[in-house]
Structure 1
Amino acid sequence: MDDYFRRFENRRPPEPLPYSAAREMLWQALATITALVGGWYVWWRWTESLNPDAMWFAVPLVVAETCAYVGLLLFIFNLWKDQPVTVPTPVASLHQTVAPGSNDLTAPDRPLVIDLFFATYNEDPELVRLGVRDAKRITYPHPIDIRIHVCDDGRRPEMRQVCTEEGVNYITRATNEGFKAGNLRHAMEQTSGDFIVILDADTRPFPTILEHTLGYFRDPKMAWVQTPQWFYDLPEGVTLTARLSQKLGAAGRVLGRSVEGIFGEIRIGKDPFVNDAEMFYQVILRRRNWANASFCCGAGSIHRREAVMEAALRSFAASVEKRVIAAEEEITLTSREPMVDPSLMSAIRTEAVVAEVLAPYRFHVSEDIYTSILLHSDRERGWKSVLHPTYESRMLSPQDLLSWSVQRFKYAGGALDILVHDNPLFRRGLTLAQRLMYAMTFWSNLAPLWNVVFLVAPIIYLATGIAPVSAYTLPFFLHAIAFLVALELSMMVGTWGIAGYASKSSYLAFFPLGLQAIAAVAAGRKISFPVTPKDRQVGNHLRLVRPQIALVLLTLAALAWGVGALIWADTGHSITGVVTNALWGVNNCLAMSGIIRAARWKPEPELTGDRDS
């Protein structure tokens, strides 16, 4: 096992972002202004700025801007409200987690039974052992029955041996049907805990994970609690001073200290793959709590068994009925009979029951969000969810671009597959707020379609002198600058406490993988269930960023051509047009540079600090 992460054992997770009512009011005011100014800009673009002589260029760009504006509105809705950070008082027994009048209240009260599932397939058993040992250190202020299970889809004797040595339960099965979702379903069939904690092979739970989360289940409608995932092995990079000192000696050390003395600490190689999930958990998912729309993200989540099983039964019944109706329609169309014989219908229903799979966790590459949609749409029970903002576990991050690509493609493809085949936006039972929150998730995965237009647009102008707007004149800059300033101010306040540039750059640079995921789903190809590698994949991964490299080279070549044409040729280029598109193109290149550097990144143990967070 590559145990590089052992030197980061002393790292501690950051505290949750603090809540500020005053900052939230300022954010809402700025967001409202941004939405209005953005609408004004988009309207002006459609009605007054299109270049009539280049509609082939003008229309795709304004469509891309409109799509991005729709995404902005959804993002504003997502971030609209936050809540103070609180930790609920732990429940003491089963009766405190059930509704008045429940059958469970007629039975004697007892301590809660918790099943901890470590889902594993081909990960190193010694890595799983670390998580199991941490799970054995979980504490709780009341009597509780914690049962640890390793759910091994790899059927490995060495994994069974680890379980025997650690005194925990080993669960395996004969096939890998349904992959992780099937693994979890099989584990549920072998266990009976009141609540289930889902952990990946590399998840290391903190002792407080149950003490800080089970209190939410005092609400009998609380179906699951998601905790933030914290990657404790993220590279911290090296300071500019250390890097220059290594390259230039004493002169470099002086130069580095001088620069950092002016601009503050500058780190090179920090989180090269932008794995830090703080923006997602502390801002995006956490702000969905008010709408009861925070979805499950798998590892680090705690589930009420009753909710998962009940949702599965409802889905099972609906799927059986769908099969029966389809069969009945086919028979009546074929036989031209108005009705189907009751005995035949009974046989059809029996066959449908046998053919359908009762799956607490849907057999899907994105089983976590699929199950979330299923539970949120159960209006009769009104199941709830919450993102608990405090970090309660630690995990390993992808440490190379290949692993990162596998993970991101799986996420994007899984979400888009749900959008196409079981669109939650039209699912009965979801509230309007929940639909909009899920819409934001799916819309963001379609963004590569218009992001690629934003990336190519400055190249076209600089190379040809053909503008997508009627002219780069004062009205254009007034509309564009007003919108961009309002946007930057509102996003700075709305995501206060988290640096946003790296996330925005990664969002743009993701376009080749995003387009591949869109193409795969559109072509009807099944999104596979690859396990994200937990060890560093050795090698140079520049082949994975060929599209980004090509984009940078084309942008720089077009920039050189555009400047040359402006000076020496009459090609229709204007000074304002070249400057505007040059700045746009340079920004695109900077966004691509991060992932290109990541493809060549290698750990530098001799320089990387081991600072406690």
Structure 2
Amino acid sequence: MLSPAFSYAALRRRGAGRVTALWLTGWQLLAWLILPLEQANWHRLLKARGLSHLECQPPRPGDPLRYLIQGCWLLLFRPRPERRTGVKAWLLESLAWLRLQQEQLQSWLHNRLFRPLADRVTTPRTVRGRTWWRKRGRSKRRLTIWLILVLALLLALLGVTQPFDYTAQLFFVLLLWSLAMVVRRLSGRFPILLMIALSVLISCRYLWWRYSSTLNWNDSLDLTLGLILLAAETYSWLILLLGYVQTCWPLKRQPVPLSEDTRLWPSVDLMIPTYDEPLSVVRTTVYAALGIDWPADKLNIYILDDGGRMEFRRFADEAGVGYIARTEHHHAKAGNLNHALKQTSGELVAIFDCDHVPVRSFLQLTAGGFLQDPRLALVQTPHHFFSPDPVERNLGLFRRTPNEGELFYGLVQDGNDMWNATFFCGSCALLRRSALEEVGGIAVDTVTEDAHTALRLHRRGWNSAYMRIPQAAGLATESLSAHVGQRIRWARGMAQIFRIDNPLLGKGLTLFQRLCYVNAMLHFLAGVPRLVFLLAPLAFLLLHAYIIYAPATLLLLYVLPHMMHSSLTAARMQGRYRQTFWGEVYETVLAWYIARPTMVALLAPSRGKFNVTAKGGLVEQTQFDWRIARPYLVLALLNLAGLGVGVWRFMYGPAAEQGTVVVTSLWVLYNLLIIGAAVAIAAEARQVRHSPRVSTRLPATLRLPGGHLYSGVLLDYSDDGVAIRVRGVASLAMGCEVSLLLRRGEREHVFPGVVCRSHDNVLVIHLTKLSREQRIDFVQCTFARADAWLNWLEPRGRERPLQSLLEVFAIGIRGYARLWQFMPRWLRLLCEPLQALLHWLGSFLPRWPQASVDSEKREWTTL
């Protein structure tokens, strides 16, 4: 540090000129500013935290101001996670203490209440002995149960209908929410049932309040729009209740072992229907079917070619499988299967879509139930996909989050199995021929022939089963338009069944079977209600219509608990199979497209035709599907206009309406982010692989041209290539011929290939010279392994509704960013000055250094 003797005044006293004194003083001040930057403490700070968005940036005109703002920010608000003091430290410690108390309370309840109750319920009566309950007569026991049920219903009715003022409602809500938060992490079935009861109580109370206190009967516009919204809410409430009934107790069925005497095993006809799919898709399925573990004299494989193609006939002859074609093509897939049923005679019928590759253990896990139960007509297994669907691919979520179908095949079908209401899904299923013949074969009256066939089987008193272990895997739809088209067919077909063969009517079904079928059919009527929810807040902002005639505070006290309890219960029940709030994104994507077909099917069920879902296609380049996204863009513009009007009304409108404007604007903002997520899905990511790669971890051996063998790990595989990690092998030249050795059981198979890429001990091998026998062996060593898809059921972490909501919001923002990216160039040029201005202003905002942000996140996530 320079001595103070060299100050301006001292230099002047020593006779220095004014210019010289100013020049020397300036250098002194500059030294005072720069030399401290060479101290060890400052360098340690730079190394630990960096300078956030300012480091590694080229010089810019506004940098002095940016450095000043960022420096003041770091000096005044720099986080110190290693030395937590003040209010923030107290808050963190308080939250940690509350979490500890909650866990201790949960443990106490589990050990003292729920576990003894569960043991009491599950312990056999022979172990419990003759209790007071058993000493009572059957009629008295039944009377006691009815009295308990009536008392519970009366208490629930009181809790639903009792009017509360603001304070009482707040206390009631906090009490039930606290109870739900305490029991939500407890293991077992009873906590789930208790959370369902709390959610139903809160939701019923909300709906009662809506019907009794929130309609403006003095204004025709308010009343009309309010009734439309109330009808949509009633639909959602009904779906919520039916969903709880359907999934409250998944059966988790285990396979039934087969008899050791194979002569008792039934004969099976395995059918692979196809229409216009390429042979490359069908070939893999046929090769996998040839390796199914079943006596050869009791298994017949047939290709059902509804296209009458000679190349398929020749392929069937070469592969040694049956080939069935028909001259007439009525009733699409259902007609194709019925035609084949008349020409075959196996006791059981296995059906696989041409892109669903079965594993070798399929019949071993599914056929045992038919020997045990003579009235068993159907065993369904999940539809599993080894390629990403459009949502997963376009958002980059493949194998990171549950896809759209996991909820149905992971939880809903398992819940249906509890009520003997498993649906036939058209593929990956085993059926009894005699049961199909009794109901007249596969149903042809609707475009969802599979679900309709299951309904007819259940009406005739046949049983069904669901095996939740994936026993096949297929290709998902490649494009969003194909995905939407497939869902339109499902929605139209379920609406047709509801219209012509309503499960609520007719004989043969139990109460819970009717409820399961009704829930599945009503679920596809969600298009109109979803559109109502996306447009409802605009009624107040644009039309000044009070669709919910109640104070904003009271609205929050009723609607927020309803949403929070349903979200918390859904996260507890189905968090492994679908993250919270993603259901609304899926419904938004489909709402516009299924609204009209379902309404038409309800009025004219004979209209509509079967459409084949295209598989095996490509997306040549990244693009935005403007045709599919058009409804989303219209909805986004309407909600954006409503948000603008809401801001204006908050600033210049009546003060008494400001609370309602704020609540409605938050609703609009939520809708905009959900719509933004739908827009993000419409940006099609590039997909140029003919054969999707399947990630795996399999032991493998590589043989080099000289004969040396190296053990390695197979990282992924496809129809025509693999990636293998081999240590100790130097980089191989492209085009080098090698051999891949894989084991299937006790046998080892050799597959010649060519190296097409080599990097960091990972070789990508193209399998181009495989004979037909080698290709069959390769499919059976990879796609058709018994454990091929078991690792895809690995449990995910605990689902957090708030975190899921933030992720959906982030994707919604990304959707609008993608929309900007794909906008016409002339429109972007018009808006570029505004974008540049916003970006320039944003560069002045202070930010935390990245290391500090990460440490802060670690603090909060440990709580």
The reply to whether TM is greater than 0.5 is: yes
Question: For residues 519 and 581 of structure 1, do their structure 2 counterparts lie closer, same or farther at Cα, with a shift above 3 Å needed?
Answer: same
- 2:850 is aligned to none
Quick one: structure 1 residues 527 and 549, their matched pair in 2 at CA, closer, same or farther if it must change by over 3 Å? same
Evaluate the alpha carbon distance shift between residue 110 and residue 579 of structure 1 in structure 2; reply closer, same or farther with a 3 A threshold.
Answer: same
Distance 2:663 2:367 in 1: 54
Cα 1:572–1:123, aligned 2, differ >3 Å: closer, same or farther?
farther
Greater alpha carbon shift after TM alignment, 35-44 vs 61-70:
61-70
User: Does the C-alpha gap of structure 1 residues 272 and 578 become closer, same or farther in structure 2, counting only changes over 3 Å?
Assistant: farther
Q: Does 1:389 align with 2:543?
A: no
Distance 1:76 1:82 in 2: 11
Cα distance in 1 for partners of 2:261, 2:594 equals 46
Deviation at 1:535, TM superposition (A): 3.4
Name 1:544's counterpart in structure 2: 628
**1:168-187 mapped onto 2 (5 Å cutoff):** 168-187=321-340
Amino acid at match of 1:48: S
The reply on whether 1:451 has 2:530 as its aligned counterpart is yes
Q: Distance in 2 between matches of 1:393 and 1:544?
A: 31
Which letter does structure 1 place at the counterpart of 2:613?
T
**C-alpha separation between the residues in 1 aligned to 2:587 and 2:481?**
17
My pick for the range that moved more, 152-161 or 477-486, is 477-486
What residue number does 1:318 align with?
none
Check the 8 A contact 1:463/1:559 in 2, yes or no: no
Aligned residues: 502
Structure 1 residue aligned with 2:410 = 282
Partner of 2:650: 566
Provide the C-alpha distance between the structure 2 equivalents of 1:269 and 1:36, rounded to a whole number of angstroms. Answer: 35
Per-residue deviation, residues 260-289 of structure 1 (Å, max 9, x unmatched): xxxxxxx74548998541111111111111
| Aligned residue in 2 for 1:367 | 449
Contact 1:465/1:571 (<8 A) preserved: no
Deviations 1:90-135 (A, max 9, x none): 24568xxxxxxxxxxxxxx654211110000000012111100011
8 Å CA contact retained: 2:539, 2:547: no
The one-letter code sitting in structure 1 at the alignment partner of 2:481 is L
Q: Which residue of 2 aligns with 1:135?
A: 289
How many angstroms apart in 2 are the aligned matches of 1:605 and 1:181? Answer: 32
Q: Evaluate the alpha carbon distance shift between residue 113 and residue 156 of structure 1 in structure 2; reply closer, same or farther with a 3 A threshold.
A: same
Specify whether residues 482 and 365 from structure 1 end up closer, same or farther in structure 2 by C-alpha distance, changes over 3 A only. Answer: same
Q: Show the counterpart of 2:566.
A: 487
- Whether contact under 8 Å (1:111, 1:143) holds in the other structure is no
- Among 145, 159, 174, which residue is 2:298 paired with? 145
Q: Does 1:578 align with 2:637?
A: no
Quote how far apart the aligned CAs of 1:237 are.
9.3
Output one character per residue of 1:169-191: Cα deviation in whole Å (capped at 9) or x when no partner: 11001110121111101111111
Q: Distance in 1 between matches of 2:693 and 2:663?
A: 40
Which structure 2 segments of 5+ residues have no match? 1-184, 697-791, 793-863
Amino acid across the alignment from 2:504: L
2:205 aligns with: 40
* Structure 2 letter corresponding to 1:590: L
Counterpart residue number, 2:497: 418
Q: Secondary structure at the match of 2:365?
A: coil
What SS class does the counterpart of residue 363 from structure 2 fall into?
coil
By how many angstroms is 1:597 displaced?
Answer: 2.2
Q: Which moved more, 1:401-410 or 1:587-596?
A: 587-596
Shift of 1:238: 10
Three-state SS of the structure 2 residue aligned to 1:127 is helix
Output the aligned Cα RMSD.
Answer: 2.7
Q: Retained in 2: the 8 A contact 1:458–1:584? A: yes
1:300 is the counterpart of 2:423: no
**Partner SS state of residue 88, structure 1:** coil
Residue 585 of structure 1 and its aligned partner are, at CA, apart by: 2.0
C-alpha spacing 1:478/1:205, structure 2 compared with 1 (3 Å): same
| TM-superposed deviation, 1:473 | 3.3
What do residues 361-382 of structure 1 show as CA deviations (whole Å, max 9, x unaligned)?
435311111111111011xxx3
Q: Is the contact made by 2:390 and 2:477 (CA closer than 8 Å) also made in structure 1?
A: no
TM-score normalised to the size of structure 1? 0.77
Q: Which residue does 1:595 correspond to in 2?
A: 678
Q: What is the deviation of 1:437?
A: 0.7
1:384-438, CA deviations, whole angstroms, 9 ceiling, x for partnerless residues? 1011100000011111012112101100001101111222220211111111111
Q: What code does the residue aligned with 1:80 have?
A: C
Q: Is the 8 A contact 1:31 1:490 kept in 2?
A: yes
**Any conservation in 1 of the 2:229–2:532 contact (CA below 8 Å)?**
yes
Deviation at 1:577, TM superposition (A): 2.0
Instruction: Indicate conservation of the 8 Å contact 2:390/2:479, yes or no.
Output: no
Residues 1:210 and 1:120: Cα distance change in structure 2 (over 3 Å): same
User: Following the alignment from structure 1 to structure 2, what is the Cα–Cα distance between the partners of residues 503 and 416?
Assistant: 20
- Out of 275, 289, 309, the position equivalent to 2:437 is 309
1:526 partner letter:
R
Change (3 A) 1:416 1:84: closer
Deviations 1:440-484 (A, max 9, x none): 011112222222211111122232443322233332221212212
Structural mapping, 1:113-512, within 5 Å: 113-140=267-294, 145-217=298-370, 218-234=372-388, 268=396, 270=398, 276-312=404-440, 359-378=441-460, 382-500=461-579, 501-512=581-592
What is the alpha-carbon distance in structure 1 between the residues aligned to residue 327 and residue 681 of structure 2? 39
Deviation, structure 1 residue 520: 2.7
The one-letter code sitting in structure 2 at the alignment partner of 1:488 is S
d(CA) in 2 for partners of 1:83, 1:76: 14
Contact 1:274 1:506 in 2 (8 A): no
Provide closer, same or farther for how the CA distance between residues 174 and 422 of structure 1 changes in structure 2, counting only shifts above 3 A: same
Instruction: Tell me what 2:607 maps to.
Output: 526
The CA distance in 1 between the partners of 2:383 and 2:402, in whole Å, is 14
**Does the 8 A contact of 2:495 with 2:598 survive in 1?**
yes
The Cα offsets for residues 512-569 of structure 1, whole Å up to 9 and x where unpaired, read as 11212123314525221110011336575221221121101111121022112211x2
Q: Which residue of 1 aligns with 2:595?
A: 515
Q: Which amino acid in 1 is paired with 2:246?
A: N
**Per-residue displacement from partner, 1:566-585 (whole Å, max 9, x unpaired)?**
11x22688333233222222
- Determine the C-alpha separation between the residues in 2 that align with 1:572 and 1:67: 34
Is the 8 Å Cα contact of residues 351 and 426 (structure 2) preserved in structure 1? yes
Q: Is the 8 A contact 2:385 2:474 kept in 1?
A: yes
- C-alpha separation between the residues in 2 aligned to 1:189 and 1:457? 54
- The one-letter amino acid of 1:594's match is A
Q: 168-177 or 588-597, which moves further after superposition?
A: 588-597
Amino acid at match of 2:591: F
Give the Cα separation in 2 of the matches to 1:591 and 1:93: 57
Which protein shows a greater Rg? 2
* TM-score, normalisation: structure 2: 0.55
SS state of the match for residue 360, structure 2? coil
Mapped partners of 1:437, 1:133: distance in 2: 37
Tell me, yes or no, if the aligned pair for 2:552 and 2:660 is still in contact at 8 Å: no
Q: Following the alignment from structure 2 to structure 1, what is the Cα–Cα distance between the partners of residues 534 and 560? A: 19
The AA in structure 1 aligned to 2:583 is: S
CA distance in 1, matches of 2:504, 2:282: 38
> In 1, are the aligned partners of 2:402 and 2:576 still within 8 Å (CA)?
no
Rate the CA distance shift 1:402–1:307 in 2: closer, same or farther, 3 A: same
Once the two structures are TM-superposed, the CA of residue 599 in structure 1 deviates from its matched residue by 2.2
User: 2:468 corresponds to which letter in structure 1?
Assistant: P
Distance in 2, matches of 1:51 and 1:472, equals: 13
On the 8 A contact 2:292/2:359 being kept in 1, the answer is yes
**SS at the partner of 1:429?**
coil
Q: What SS does the corresponding residue of 1:210 show, helix, strand or coil?
A: helix
**CA 1:402–1:368 in structure 2 vs 1: closer, same or farther (change >3 Å)?**
same
**SS in structure 1 of the partner of residue 465 of structure 2:** strand
Is the 8 Å Cα contact of residues 359 and 472 (structure 2) preserved in structure 1?
A: yes
Asked if 2 retains the 8 angstrom alpha-carbon contact of 1:79 and 1:284, the reply is yes
